[in-house]
Structures are given as structure tokens and as C-alpha cells.
Structure 1
Amino acid sequence: MLLLAGAVGCGDAGGVEGAGATPTAAGPVRLWPQLTPASSPAFEIGEVDTEVVKGVTAPGDDIGKADPVDIVRAEIAAHPGEYEGAKAPHRGTTARMADCAEGPGHGDCPVLGPYYRDLTGDGRDDLVLGFRLLPGKTTAVRVYTVVRHRIEQVMAWEDALSGVELAGRSLVIRSPSEVAGYEYRLQWTWDRDQGAMLLTHDEMLRTGSREPPHRPSPSPTPSAPAAGAPSDPPAASTG
């Protein structure tokens, strides 16, 4: 009894107090256990598709010495159905490549400025390249590395982008969602066994922002009232 009284006294003085009943931990519950596990995917999104860039070299296996514009031109040449012809979905990209004489990121050149980072962990920089797919608002994102003295594309994705980030040895792509206040975030990470950047995380996350409500345009500033005319009351502050 003395021990119990002492414990109660400590609790009253700000010590450890009981928080009530603890909810029972719920583990994962397997649904439809009678289903036979699938052995192959129903859909393929090309997670491990790699492609050698033909006609472009990296002197000394330094991808920083390869011309990013030439790399995009090589992709266009390798996939004419996507970039050339009246029915090609990205035919506008080919037309705008003529504006890349000064290099990526200049004028109307669809090729964006390149970024270099060691994403494969071999101690050498790899190339992260983006270019706009025209017509439309889609942007292509590619990652290239050097394999056996050849430039190889090890990641490819196209989407409407709200942001692209490098996080350690991962590439994070953010895209707008049709659900207000949310966005898609896809993380690609190098996998040595597959020799490619794999889609390791695919999330839909809240951004904390929503579309602002529509507000009418402010009215023109009224002219000064005539002498003796009553003036309007001052507008309420919106700040």
C-alpha cells in the first residue's frame, strides 16, 4: 500500500502517468489468399530499357565532353516515328533543333541545360539531360552513362513536370496531379545488376497548396472627385 501511494504521489507531481488503454497493434492482413501469385507483369513501362547512343562519343570516357545537342539529335534519328513526319507526336522538337546552334538552354532550343552527377557510383559523372517535346507541354528526362567506351541511355521518362531534383544518387521527378493539392513523385535509382536506373518509388503526395480562388481584376483607380463632391470611403486593406 505504501508503494502504491508513493507511485500516485509521483504522478501527481508531474511524473509518468497512465495514458489509458493501448490500442491493439494491427498487422497486415492478406486478402484473397486463394489467388495464384502472378509470375509476370501485366503491363510493362520499360524500367530496364537501355539504349546505346549511336554516332556520339565521349572522349576519354568523359561524358562531359559529349555534346548534349548531338545526343538529342541521335535520339531523334533513332526514333523517326516519334519526331519526324506529319503524324509524329513530337515533330515540333525536330524543327526547333535548328535553334540549338548556340548550345542547350539558348533561345528556342528545346534542349535544356545539362547536369552532371555520379549516379552510378563508378566515380565518374553521368549526364542528366532534359528536352521539351513539342508541340505540347511534355518534357523528356534522360540519364546517360559510359559503358564500355560507349554512351548509353540508362533512364528515360516523359511527363508534364513541376520539378526535377537530384538527391544523392537518385533522380526525383515531380509531376502535377489532377487532384488539387497533390503531386506525383517518382524516384529513379541506379541498380548495378540491371545496369539501369530503376523506378524505386512512385508516390502521390500532398503539396499543401491548392488552386487559389478566382479573384476579379482590380478596378481602375477612380479620378479625383470634383470640388465639393463627396468622396468614396477608403477601400478596406487586403494586406
Structure 2
Amino acid sequence: MPPARPAPRASRAPRTPRAVAAVAVALLLAAVAGCGDAGGLVGAGSTPTAISPDRLWPQLTPASSPAFEVGEVESEVVAGVPVPGDDIRRVDPVAVVRAEIKEDSSDYENAGYVETLRRMADCGKQGAAGQRCPVLEPYYRDLTGDGHADLTLGFRQLPGNVTAVRVYTVEKHRLVRVMHWEDAVSGVELAGRSVIIRSPSEVAGYEYRLQWTWDPQQRSMLLTHDEMLRSGPEGPSPGPSASAR
């Protein structure tokens, strides 16, 4: 049988505006598909199926009170430390620490922080003796949102590797402590209305990250985040895991 003859080529019809637009769209799509490496849209793969949380032990009676006192709300007037002109920058940070030690002197002695008590006498001295003062440089920032600076203060609790971190504000002409924490500290940051403290973890490659945020209803800094994050060159992991602290 002779080979089939090819079908005759149809004559080209004149292009209408709609046909021209269709060709342009086709060429544009082809160009986008051919230059995906230059910023084109790339598929992200399949979307994982959302899984709703499972409620465990629904038969348990919900607790109505905490089992342990962890001091969630810290607000205490500092006695004996004046605030000249309601300006917290004029408050002597060393006097603030001395007032706390005086108020809790037995706690400091029982904890063995005898070196802190001894070195407080060096505060205000010149030269090498003054550098032995355990009170760190104070920082001032509006953490309460009232338009006035608040005081973030730190001091070493010696002997040991513990740093005390405190936040003070002024209320009704009085100095008020609104946050306190002690730990082995690797870094402290102020961000917005929050104080963020990073501390080393017992788990290699991880660190604790604790965040206190000002709460206008409680008039105090509340512990709003307690996380364990990856540390080191790679930085924090994108998804924090709950710590058992």
C-alpha cells in the first residue's frame, strides 16, 4: 500500500486581537517557566495535613489554684531609696542594691553570697578597688509605656556564676521593683516592653530564653515566655520547644 499522503496545510487565517492576546499570554507563560531560577514562581511541594490537638485525660478535674508558688507577679516598694523629682535616672543604683541586701540580708548570708556583701564596700571607690563593685552598669528605657524611663539593673551574686537582674519604675513618687530574676546569665536584652534573658542549658547546643513583659493590669513584668532554643553559630531554631524549667 502506498504511504498516506500528508493532509493539505490549511491556509493561515488573519489574527484577531483575541488571538494575538492568547499568543502573548502563551509566550509569557513559557518565559516564566523557562526562568524559574531568576525569581519565577516555584512550587513548595505538598502541604502537610493539619492535625487538630488531642486533649489528654479529659476525665481529670481542672485545677483551680496553682500547686506551686513561682512568684509570677513581682511588685514591691523599695524602702529608703528616694526618687528626686520622680526622675529614676537620679536614683543611685548602688543604694538600690544596698537596700535590697539590707532587706534580705539573712537570705544573702544563707546563700553564701559573702563576697557580694564584702565587695559592696568597694562601690564608689576609684581605680581597681571600684572595679570590684558587683553592681553592673544601669540601663534606662521606658518599659512600662508611661513615657518615662525605667531602670534595668544587674549585679553579681558572689561567689558563683549568678547574676541578679532587676527592673524598677516610679509610682506615686516611690521606687517600685517590678521584676527580679537570678541565674547564670549569658545575655540580657531589652526589646519593646520586654526584658529577655538568655542562660546556658545543661543540654549541649541549647540555651534557655526567658522573657518578661510589662502587664498594665498587674502593674508588673510577667514571665510571658520560657523556651529552650538552639544556640551557637546556627542561631535559634525556628520552632522553640517547651522547657521543663
TM-score of Structure 1 vs Structure 2, range by shorter chain? 0.7 to 0.9
Tell me by how many angstroms 1:175 deviates.
0.2
Which residue pairs with 1:145 in the alignment?
169
Match of 2:113 in 1: 90
**CA deviations over 1:132-172 (Å, ceiling 9, x no partner):** 00111100000000111100100000000000001111100
Structure 2 match to 1:217: none
Q: Which has the higher helix share?
A: 2
SS of alignment partner, residue 137 of structure 2: coil
Equivalent runs, 1:35-74 vs 2, <5 Å: 35-74=60-99
Return the TM-score normalized by structure 1. 0.76
SS of structure 2 residue aligned to 1:14:
helix
Higher radius of gyration, 1 or 2: 2
- CA drift of 1:37 comes to 1.2
Query: 1:77 aligned to 2:102?
Result: yes
Measured in 1, the distance between the counterparts of 2:42 and 2:163 equals: 57
Matched residue SS, 1:201: strand
1:207 CA displacement: 0.9
TM-align CA RMSD: 2.6
Answer yes or no: is the 8 Å Cα contact 2:74–2:221 preserved in 1: no
Q: Distance in 1 between matches of 2:165 and 2:173?
A: 22
Matched AA of 2:56 = L
Counterpart residue type for residue 215 of structure 2: D
Paired AA for residue 70 in structure 1: A
Q: Cα 1:153–1:14, aligned 2, differ >3 Å: closer, same or farther?
A: same
Retained in 2: the 8 A contact 1:138–1:159? yes
Structure 1 contact 138–161 (Cα < 8 Å) conserved: yes
Matched-pair contact (CA < 8 Å) for 1:144–1:151: yes
Cα separation, 1, equivalents of 2:112 and 2:72: 22
Change (3 A) 1:24 1:135: same
Distance in 1 separating the partners of 2:218 and 2:60: 29
Q: Please, which of 170, 176, 192 is the counterpart of residue 194 of structure 2?
A: 170
> Which residue identity lines up with residue 222 of structure 2 in the other structure?
L
Q: Helix, strand or coil for the counterpart of 1:47? A: coil
2:211 paired residue among 181, 187, 211: 187
Tell me what 1:154 maps to: 178
Out of 142-151 and 13-22, give the one that drifted further. Answer: 13-22
Secondary structure of residue in 2 paired with 1:175: strand
Distance in 2 (alpha carbons) for counterparts of 1:189 and 1:19: 36
Gaps in structure 1 of 5+ consecutive residues? 1-6, 211-239
| AA of the residue aligned to 1:175 | S
Counterpart-to-counterpart distance in 2, 1:129 and 1:18: 50
* Mapping for residues 183-222 of structure 1, pairs under 5 Å: 183-209=207-233
State how far apart, in whole Å, the 2-side matches of 1:18 and 1:71 are.
Answer: 59
Secondary structure, in 3 states, of the residue corresponding to 2:89? helix
Measured at CA, do residues 199 and 21 of structure 1 come closer, stay the same or move farther in structure 2, by a change above 3 Å? closer
Partner of 2:124: 101
CA contact (8 A) 2:119 2:132 kept: yes
Question: Any unmatched runs of 5+ in structure 2?
Answer: 1-25, 35-40, 235-245
> Offset of 1:45 from its aligned partner?
1.6
SS in 2 for 1:57: coil
Percent identity among equivalent residues?
68
Q: Distance in 2 between matches of 1:135 and 1:18?
A: 57
**Aligned residues of 2:187 and 2:197 also touching (Cα < 8 A):** yes
> Mean alpha-carbon deviation: is it higher for 13-22 or for 141-150?
13-22
Counterpart residue type for residue 51 of structure 1: E
Q: Deviations over 1:160-203 (max 9, x none)?
A: 00000011111000000011110000011101111110001111
Aligned to 1:116: 140
Contact 1:54 1:74 in 2 (8 A): yes
